[in-house]
Amino acid sequence: RQVFESALQSFPEPHYLEYGIGRCDLQAGNYEEAGKRLRSALRGGVTSDALYRSLAEVYLRTGNFTAKALPVFEQQFPSRME
């Protein structure tokens, strides 16, 4: 996490670093901070399946299944909802 944080100020595409920090926070169990970082990465243009999975995991672990996790899952995996 510290490596990502130190590079954040000078990296030309910080949204990828936000994703990395969010993943570190998720692994450490810091779910609220992970959610903030992952949403920032999403707003910055990162749209990988891994980001959506991580964000859905954050919402599930924080008890936001119907309010937040389900819409993220439906957006990323529409064919699985049919």
Distance between CA atoms of 42 and 65, rounded to whole angstroms? 19
Query: Tell me, what's the pLDDT at 14?
Result: 83
Instruction: Give the pLDDT means over successive 10-residue stretches in the chain (82 positions).
Output: 68 83 95 94 90 88 75 66 50
Backbone angles phi, psi at 44, to 5 degrees: -80, -10
Residue with tokens 């959506």: 52
Tell me the CA distances in angstroms from 77 to 11, 23, 53, one per residue in order.
31, 20, 10
Query: Tell me, what's the pLDDT at 69?
Result: 66
Whether pTM > 0.85 for this model: the answer is no
Q: What HEC string does 2-30 produce?
A: HHHHHHHCCCCCHHHHHHHHHHHHHHHCC
